[in-house]
Each structure stands twice: as structure tokens, then as C-alpha cells.
Amino acid sequence: MTSAETLRLEPDAPIRTRSHRIGVIGAGAIMADQHLEAYRQAGFPVVAIASRTRSRAAAVAERYGIETVHETPRDLILDPRVEIVDIAFPPDQQPELIRLALAQPHVRAVLAQKPLALSLVEAIALRDEAAAAGKLLSVNQNMRYDQSIRSLKQLLDRGALGQPVFAAIDMHAVPHWQTFLAEYDRLTLANMSVHHLDALRYLFGDPVEIYTAGRPDPRTEFAHTDGIVASTLSFENGVLAVSREDVWGGPREEGFNSDFFISWRVEGTEGVATGTIGWPNGKPSTISYASTSETNGEWVAPEWETHWFPHAFAGVMEQLQHSVETGTEPALTVADNVRTMALIEAGYRSLAEHRAVRLDEFDLAPTTNTK
């Protein structure tokens, strides 16, 4: 077993700060099984919880030893003990909660789920309102804290692969679609591709343009257009990238092995790196790479015990805790997330108009009317 430390890689973000009181909104699987389990392991102080159903919030509170269960999300936001509001709510309801939190003197920061809102216009407005309020608003782009993606970023930053040339993220897995998605007109691009497209931005910067094609997923019974999706991105530095989200993945009949996986590959002028994301199979993510400058062209594969789910969620909250503590900008800024939202919007425009869409078609300038 080759350790990540031996290869000068840091797959998990260090915990530098754990002193600011958190109030969590939501009691579904993502909050109960991922956020709160990661916070428990990291030692983050969660002081209150609320959800749409108090009984569910109470059950989660008992599971994690959370002292206060509020009747409503509004009550939690008004709780003067809460410094950081962590929201796991549907994107049509999230903006109202964010705005209420931004208006509270005792709330210093908000961690929102992705997508931040149902539209790019709304996301821009939330960005500008947070800036006007002088509050931190961060968005939970947790794939940036997956251990393999973090390690890949470190290799790219130190030039181990040379100049990147080609990248691909390939998903063949069936997600558990939340029931509220049946009410929206957007599915895979906004709720699954958002992980991968944001990760590509994290690795290579903003793309110049995107071309997206898609078709309905035969298994998804409610109306949708963007079921199975494939996007091609071109970057200013010459990188060509492909992101594929196959949420069909094959038959789900008993005894049929659909071989679900998420894999990625990056090729550069001085090396190649490949990896897997462990989410579909409950295993740690992986990375293997060969570099002319670091490994003499031989393949090496560091290993670790942590997982994307739940351990990456500790890094997401830690970067916000540390920002509150130090007064520095968080790693996951809302301004940066607006650019991911613009990329998603460009993908939908491409899908509708059957053409490549440039990112400079979208005006991301500050709005003149902020609340």
C-alpha cells in the first residue's frame, strides 16, 4: 500500500477550525447520513436542527445528540446561538431561507445546497444580497472535496502531468432522485452534472463554451428532457473535456449486474491520471497516475480509508468555519458558484438550441437592485 503522504498528496482537507455553532435545516438522507455524520467525526458543534416535519428532525437530533429541535426552519434561523446556517432544502424553497438568514445579526455564514436556486438570475441576486449584507454565503460543491479529485488538483497544480490536454468524467449509475424533482423542468444537468461540471471548473478554470446533448431516461417516470446527458467543454488553455451522466446505467432487474461506476481520466503533456469515485459502490475513491517528472513513467496508486460520502462534507463545512474564524474568503464562494450555475444554464441552452454555447453569452455583473 502506497500512502498519499509518501506521494506528497493530501486527499482530505485538514480540520483547522471547529468552534462556530451550526444550525442545520433538513432531516433527509443527505443531512442525516452525510452532513451530520461528517460533522460528528470532525467535532463540529451542531446546536440545533429543524425540518419541514418536526418528528423527523427530532429523530435525527436524538441520533446525533443535538440539543434543540425547532418547530420550523424560521425558528432555527432566529435562534441567536446559531452562527452558521446549514441548509439542505429543495432549491425552490432555499432562497427564502437564505435571505432570512442573511438578515439576522447573529448569523455569520450560510452553507447552501446546490443548485443554489432554480435560475441563474436568482443565484446572481443571492450572491449580491450576501455581499450587501456583509455575510458569507457558500455552496456545497462537495465533489471538490472528494479525495481523488483533491489529489488530482494537487498533481495539476504542481505540474506533475505537464500541460493538461484532455479530461473526461464518466458516470454510469442510478441516483436516488428526490421526490421534489418531479415538480421541476430540470433534472440531470442541474442535479447530477452540477457535480462534474463544477469539478472540471475547479480543475481547469472556466470553460469557453459547452455543447450538451441529452435524451430522457426510460426509468424516470415523471416528465423530463435531460435524463441521460453528455457535455463537451472547451477551455481557454486548450483542454478538451467530456462529462457524461448516464442515469440509466442498465436494467435494474434482480440478478442483473449493471456494473455501476463513476470514473475520470486526465491526460497531460507529461503524464496521465485516472481514478474512480466511490459513491455508487460505497468504497473509497481512487487515483492512479504516471508522470515523466515524478514517477519515471511508472504507475503509482496512493490509497486512503476515507470516502467521498460522508467525509468530504467535513471539508465543505470546515472551509466555512475557517473563513468565519479568520475573516478570509471561503474556498467555496457564492461568486464562484454563480459561474457554475452559468455553466449549467449554458448546458440547458445548448440542449434546447442544439448548438455550442459560449459562457460569455451570460451577463454575470452585479444586479442594481439588492435587498
- Give the pLDDT confidence score for residue 99 in this predicted structure: 98
- Give the pLDDT confidence score for residue 46 in this predicted structure: 98
Taking Cα atoms as reference points, which of 229, 251, 259 lies closest to residue 344?
A: 229
Does residue 92 carry a pLDDT above 80?
Answer: yes
- Give the pLDDT confidence score for residue 217 in this predicted structure: 97
* Whole-number Cα distances in Å, 168 to 82, 198, 279: 41, 13, 17
Confirm if 43 and 105 have CB atoms less than 8 A apart.
no
C-alpha cell recorded at residue 279: 459513491
Taking Cα atoms as reference points, which of 361, 308, 320, 336 lies closest to residue 37?
A: 308
* Whole-number Cα distances in Å, 103 to 134, 227, 233, 249, 353: 10, 38, 38, 44, 40
- Give the pLDDT confidence score for residue 258 in this predicted structure: 84
Taking Cα atoms as reference points, which of 338, 298, 303, 332 lies closest to residue 318?
A: 332
CB atoms within 10 A of CB 21: 16
pLDDT in tens, 294-344: 999 999 999 999 999 999 999 999 999 999 999 999 999 999 999 999 999
Give the up-direction half-sphere exposure of residue 282: CA atoms within 13 A in the CB hemisphere.
0
Round to whole Å and give the CA distance between 302 and 295. Answer: 13
Q: Is the pTM of this model over 0.85?
A: yes
- Give the pLDDT confidence score for residue 1 in this predicted structure: 66
User: Where residue 272 falls among pLDDT bands split at 50, 70, 90?
Assistant: very high
pLDDT in tens, 210-253: 999 999 999 999 999 999 999 999 999 999 999 999 999 998 88
Give the up-direction half-sphere exposure of residue 5: CA atoms within 13 A in the CB hemisphere.
2
User: Where residue 281 falls among pLDDT bands split at 50, 70, 90?
Assistant: confident
- Give the pLDDT confidence score for residue 368 in this predicted structure: 61
C-alpha cell recorded at residue 360: 460569455
> Considering the chain, what is the average pLDDT of its residues?
96
- Give the pLDDT confidence score for residue 188 in this predicted structure: 98
Does residue 371 carry a pLDDT above 50?
Answer: no
Taking Cα atoms as reference points, which of 28, 24, 34 lies closest to residue 77?
A: 24
Does residue 370 carry a pLDDT above 50?
Answer: no
